[in-house]
Amino acid sequence: MTQVTMTVNGKTVSGDVEGRTLLAEFLREGLKMTGTHIGCDTSQCGACVVHMNGEAVKSCSVLALDAEGAEVKTIEGMANPDGSLSTIQQAFQDHHGLQCGFCTPGMVMSAAALLKDNPKPTEREIREYLEGNICRCTGYHNIVKAIMAASGQDVGAIAAE
């Protein structure tokens, strides 16, 4: 076991991990932060997306030890300081951007990464950006709508719910 230290949602955390421990496993099992989901475990589905040093990554395909010293942000760090939902999270609720909710942490983290670089994305840009996030419930329309709304754009033209 080797000790790893990183910053997660602004807090410095440490833990003992094996070489093979994935960042997703360290978050879920080491830190008991189970908001980050492991879906496919093959970097296809995107349920495990977190931000590492400001960039969206699939935490099932990053070794915990490779995140030594990194700034990590997870879905648990997305809400506002007073506990209310962030703009993106609120938009997912308002526009019914989830059903079972399994993909939602990854969707929200990907959406946040997109809007950081591209504050007013087109519908096409949103759909392309979400290529690596799979949802088996919603058919994506309402997720796209939520991200459009979160970016302050009119959602009237997006496909019907």
Partner 1 sequence: MYNFEFSKPGTIDEAVAALGADEAQALGGGQTLLPTMKQRLAAPEVLVSLTGIDQMKGICLSDAGEVCIGGATTHATVAAEAAAHYPALAALAGRIGDPAVRNRGTIGGSLANNDPSACYPAAALGSGATIITNTREIAADDYFQGMFATALDEGEIITEVRFPVPEAANYQKFVQPASRFALVGVFVAKYADGVRVAVTGASSDGVFRWTEAEEVLNGSFTKDAIDALSPPSGDMIADLHGSAEYRAHLVKVMTGRAVAAAS
Q: By the criterion CB under 8 A, which residues form the site for partner 1?
A: 2, 18-20, 22, 41-44, 46, 49, 52, 55-58, 61-63, 65-66, 68, 110, 113-114, 129, 131-133
* 13: helix, strand or coil: strand
| Residue among 65 and 85 whose Cβ is closer to partner 1 | 65
Phi, psi of 32, deg, nearest 5: 60, 30
| Residue among 58 and 73 whose Cβ is closer to partner 1 | 58
b/e 68-97 (16+ beta carbons within 10 angstroms → b): eebebbbbbbbeeeeeeeebbbbbbeebeb
**Rounded to the nearest whole angstrom, what is the least distance from the CB of residue 50 to partner 1 in the complex?**
9
| Residue among 65 and 137 whose Cβ is closer to partner 1 | 65
Write down the H helix ranges in 16-81: 23-25
**Rounded to the nearest whole angstrom, what is the least distance from the CB of residue 112 to partner 1 in the complex?**
12
**Rounded to the nearest whole angstrom, what is the least distance from the CB of residue 118 to partner 1 in the complex?**
11
CA–CA distance, 136 with 5 (Å, rounded to integer): 35
| Residue among 44 and 90 whose Cβ is closer to partner 1 | 44
**Rounded to the nearest whole angstrom, what is the least distance from the CB of residue 97 to partner 1 in the complex?**
18
**Rounded to the nearest whole angstrom, what is the least distance from the CB of residue 83 to partner 1 in the complex?**
27
CA–CA distance, 118 with 72 (Å, rounded to integer): 21
Phi, psi of 30, deg, nearest 5: -80, -45
| Residue among 12 and 42 whose Cβ is closer to partner 1 | 42
